[in-house]
A and B are shown apart, each in its own frame.
Chain A
Amino acid sequence: QSVLTQPPSASGTPGQRVTISCSGSSSNIGSNYVYWYQQLPGTAPKLLIYRSNQRPSGVPDRFSGSKSGTSASLAISGLRSEDEADYYCAAWVDSLSALVFGGGTKLTVL
């Protein structure tokens, strides 16, 4: 069981907007930034969102992140077939001096 809770799956049709949630606690999301990683099949994870809502250079603005209290969300607008991947949230835990991940959400583009 992961410290951060994500739905195991999500789906949408091309062009749709989908959101993936990430739920934590005051010791992780509630007091620190949230990060999102995209893992395409058979590849290493790639940083998608940092500092809860910032996109690295090269990440399309179709991807956006938000945080409220002890929860966070990743939104993908204008869904495309190449967005089909696993998505992981992560947050730092001060009391453990450790990074924790969510269990991951498999996004299917129908």
Chain B
Amino acid sequence: QVQLQESGPGLVKPSQTLSLTCTVSGGSISSGSYHWSWIRQPAGKGLEWIGRIYTSGSTNYNPSLKSRVTISVDTSKNQFSLKLSSVTAADTAVYYCARGKEGHDYGDYVHYYYYMDVWGKGTTVTVSS
């Protein structure tokens, strides 16, 4: 079955750019109606959705992070990546990558669905000088 693994530096200096990669194994990143997502969680706090990318390259970002976030995909390597610029201590968190499934249900109304069904184990990133 599909598995995801985050990788990247565990320590980033303030004002620099945080860069993480998620490697997808057990399946092609290009198959199915999936988005590929990033979520983070500061220690002792809740989950925050960062954004997602479709293999076509289309992206959606959390409005609160949009000015600093770039998510990209490399289908040849079965990977997608996160870049977060101008980091501060507030960006210290566990970063998760996840597979997002989306679609529409058609009935009396059209209902859009999108949820993350496969998650990586997460990687801790600390922003400190």
Task: Show the binding face of A for B, using Cβ within 8 Å.
Answer: 2, 32-33, 35, 37, 39, 43-47, 50-51, 56, 88, 90, 92, 94, 96-104
Residues of B within 8 A of A39 (CB): 47
Contact of A101 among B48, B105, B113 (CB under 8 A): B48
The reply to whether B49 and A99 form a contact with Cβ atoms under 8 Å apart is yes
> Is A94 a contact partner of B112 (Cβ separation < 8 A)?
yes
B84 in the interface (beta carbon within 8 A): no
User: What sequence of 0s and 1s flags, for each residue 104-117 of chain B, a beta carbon within 8 Å of any chain A beta carbon?
Assistant: 01000001111111
Q: A33-B111, A92-B112, A104-B47 known; A44 and B120 CB under 8 Å?
A: yes
Partner among A44, A45, A92, A102 whose Cβ is within 8 Å of the Cβ of B114: A92
Beta-carbon nearest neighbor of B59 in chain A: A97
Q: Determine if B46 and A2 form an interchain contact, defined as CB atoms under 8 angstroms apart.
A: yes
Most buried by B among A45, A46, A50, A99: A99
Across chains A and B, the number of contacting residue pairs, with CB separation under 8 Å, is 62
Query: Which residue of B51, B111, B122 contacts A32 across the interface (Cβ within 8 Å)?
Result: B111
> Complex Cα distance A76/B100, Å?
25
Contact present for B46 and A50 (CB under 8 Å): no
Interchain residue pairs with CB less than 8 A apart (7): A37-B47, A44-B120, A45-B116, A47-B115, A47-B117, A51-B105, A56-B117
How many whole Å from B123's CB to the nearest CB in chain A?
Answer: 11
> Which of B10-18, B22-30, B60-68, B85-93 lies at the interface?
B60-68
Tell which of B46, B105, B111, B116 touches A47, judged by Cβ atoms closer than 8 Å: B116
Contacts of B46 in A (CB 8 A): 2, 88, 101-104
Q: Is there a chain A Cβ closer than 8 Å to B83's Cβ?
A: no
Q: Give the residues in chain B near A100, CB-CB below 8 Å.
A: 49
